[in-house]
Amino acid sequence: KIAAVSNKPQTTRHKIQGIVTSDDGQIVFVDTPGVHKPGYLLNRRMMSAVHDAILSVDLLVLMRDASVSTGNGDRFVLDLIKKSEKKAILVLNKIDKIKDKGNLLPLIEFYSNEHQFEEIIPISALKGDAIKVLLTEITRHLPENDPIFAEDEMTDQSLRNMAAEMVREKILETTGEEIPYVTAVITELFDESDPKVTKIFCAIYVERSSQKSIIIGKQGRLIKEIGTRARADIEKLVGKKVFLKLFVKVVKDWRNQERPLDELGVTK
């Protein structure tokens, strides 16, 4: 795991590269924030990352939840793809939720009528269904080139960034309503000098004192739970024991401020 995973919208906030190297070639996935209409400066930067990624890649892969009906958002995304003039593959995910696979036909027909995709591939990321097919088809549509990364590299993200992502994922899992969207996490200390224990300090940004109280929880129970869960994932990542300290900072209106967004690595 290299980034926060959640069923909540806008989990991904910046471009993250994931690298898959096989005998057939090397695929560099550029995971972007979800396409949405921006409100805050944070969201505008997220959409800027989407546009930058579209310009920089050789092939677009549109991942679509097959269990959700079409709406205005679909046409918004399709418009971006059409304007890019890039080759694109449509991936219909979560087909494990659809008992009658015939129900996929209207969705496939809608997208086929709107754009000429190179391939339309139904998958289940959860079950692992058709993942090999997807990787094969992506490789087939990529241009021939030398590998960009070494065979053992899996991401362009640093361990300190991935640690912050693991903490943020646990916040997404344990909180509801507005909290996931008003919080951010930055690693302020990542010390590997001790061969037995990695010391990590992470700051959790919120916008109001009331949000800080929610994150901490009654008698500190929630922040302790977040830390316990995150530490388990980070220990798998670094391969040794981790001392993880979390603290909460109130940074008023951080989603609209240049400096906090720069510190968080949400690029312009």
pLDDT digits (tens, 9 = 90+) for 94-120: 999 999 999 999 999 999 999 999 999
Distance CA 1, CA 233 (A): 8
CATH topology agreement for domains 16-140 and 159-263? no
pLDDT digits (tens, 9 = 90+) for 114-142: 999 999 999 999 999 999 999 999 999 99
| Residue 155 vs residues 191, 216, 223, 235: alpha-carbon distances, Å | 20, 32, 28, 18
Q: What is the pTM of this model?
A: 0.85
Distance CA 43, CA 41 (A): 5
Q: Is the pLDDT of residue 180 over 90?
A: no
Q: What percent of the chain has pLDDT over 90?
A: 79
CB neighbours of 249 closer than 8 A, spacing ≥ 6? 203, 204, 205, 206
The CATH architecture of the domain made up of 16-140 is 3-Layer(aba) Sandwich (3.40)
For residues 215 and 207, the answer to whether their CB atoms sit within 8 Å is: no
What local confidence, expressed as pLDDT, does residue 14 receive? 78
SS (H, E, C) the chain: CCCCCCCCCCCCCCCEEEEEEECCEEEEEEECCCCCCCCCHHHHHHHHHHHHHHHHCCCEEEEEECCCCCCHHHHHHHHHHHHHCCCEEEEEECHHHCCCHHHHHHHHHHHHHHCCCCEEEECECCCCECHHHHHHHHHHCCCCCCCCCCCCCCECCCHHHHHHHHHHHHHHHHCCCCHHHHCEEEEEEEECCCCCEEEEEEEEEECCHHHHHHHHCHHHHHHHHHHHHHHHHHHHHHCCEEEEEEEEEECCCHHHCHHHHHHCCCCC
CATH topology of domain 159-263: GMP Synthetase; Chain A, domain 3 (3.30.300)
Q: What percent of the chain has pLDDT over 70?
A: 99
- Out of 51-55, 72-76, 165-169, 260-264, the most confident range is 165-169
For residues 138 and 202, the answer to whether their CB atoms sit within 8 Å is: no
Q: Is the pLDDT of residue 63 over 90?
A: yes
The domain locations on the chain are 16-140, 159-263
pLDDT digits (tens, 9 = 90+) for 190-219: 999 999 999 999 999 999 999 999 999 999
Residue 244 neighbours by CB distance under 10 Å: 20
pLDDT, mean of residues 220-238? 97
> How much is the mean pLDDT over the chain?
93
Residue 70 neighbours by CB distance under 10 Å: 13
pLDDT, mean of residues 7-22? 85
pLDDT-based confidence at 1, cuts 50/70/90?
confident
Q: Which residues pair with 241 in a beta bridge?
A: 197
CB neighbours of 1 closer than 8 A, spacing ≥ 6? 162, 166, 233, 236, 237
Q: Which residues pair with 250 in a beta bridge?
A: 206
Q: Is the pLDDT of residue 268 over 70?
A: no
pLDDT, mean of residues 176-201? 94
What local confidence, expressed as pLDDT, does residue 34 receive? 78
